[in-house]
Amino acid sequence: MSRKEEIAHNLETVRANIAAVVAHPVTLIAVTKTFPASDVQILKELGVIDFGENRDSEGAEKSAVVPGTWHFQGQIQSNKLKSITSWASVIHSLDDPRHFEIIEKVAPHPLSIFLQVSLDGAHNRGGAGVDQLYHLAELVSESTVHTLAGLMSVPPVEMDPDMAYSQLAVIRNEFLLRFPAANSLSAGMSGDYQSAISHGATHVRVGSSILGSRSPHR
């Protein structure tokens, strides 16, 4: 099987699995971290337009080769924001008001912004606590340039995905009462995107189910 056939097959499976849960369209973001630009090019040829990266350097490099809608979903470092906002048009991982202040100063174009919510107290995988979420949402929603898209979350590894995503749905429903326009939900990865969609995800971020396994720590 060629690499293109392999990716096409995986992509078809993921798309069918999504369609099996909901009839409405869900934005499928192909997470291309650690994979070469040649794979991104193949995805593009197969009709994928949304690509996700966790690291500024990788995103900058691949987005220069393959145009599309590029999503940044990694931990934000202040000194990388100028570069990140030059190639990404969507940020999934805002969890700190100071980072948004920098974005307002340095971003060369309007961004769509998800706020990352932590589902555990430890904030291990990033994310704002529910207590900090509303302040952050107010800041972003007051911007005349950038758009508050909604919420994003990565469930704690030890947590059952169904439990995590039903908890997230509760947080989101409450959030929508205050920010009704911010109705996107970025949730779901290779192991759990069907569960996330059944709990309302509008954007799923899928890497290994499409492109194969990465080294364990990424």
The footprint of ligand PLP (CB under 6 A) covers 31, 33, 54, 73, 154, 189-191, 205-209
- The nearer residue to ligand PLP, 33 or 172, going by C-beta atoms, is 33
- The nearer residue to ligand PLP, 73 or 184, going by C-beta atoms, is 73
Amino acid at 122: A
Please name which of 132, 175, 128 lies closest in space to residue 153, comparing C-alpha atoms.
128
CB 207 → ligand PLP: shortest distance, Å?
3
CB 144 → ligand PLP: shortest distance, Å?
28
Of all residues in this chain, which one has the CB nearest to ligand PLP in the complex?
207
- The nearer residue to ligand PLP, 85 or 186, going by C-beta atoms, is 186
- The nearer residue to ligand PLP, 57 or 105, going by C-beta atoms, is 57
Contact 149, 114 (CB under 8 A): yes
**Which secondary-structure segment (H or E) carries 204?**
strand 203-206
> What CA–CA distance (Å, rounded) separates 20 from 200?
14
- The nearer residue to ligand PLP, 104 or 212, going by C-beta atoms, is 212
CB 192 → ligand PLP: shortest distance, Å?
9
CB 33 → ligand PLP: shortest distance, Å?
6
Residue 152, helix vs strand vs coil: strand
Please name which of 52, 105, 55, 107 lies closest in space to residue 76, comparing C-alpha atoms.
55
Amino acid at 211: L
Give the helix, strand, coil percentages of the chain, each rounded to 5.
Answer: 45, 15, 40
Contact 113, 146 (CB under 8 A): yes
CB 212 → ligand PLP: shortest distance, Å?
9
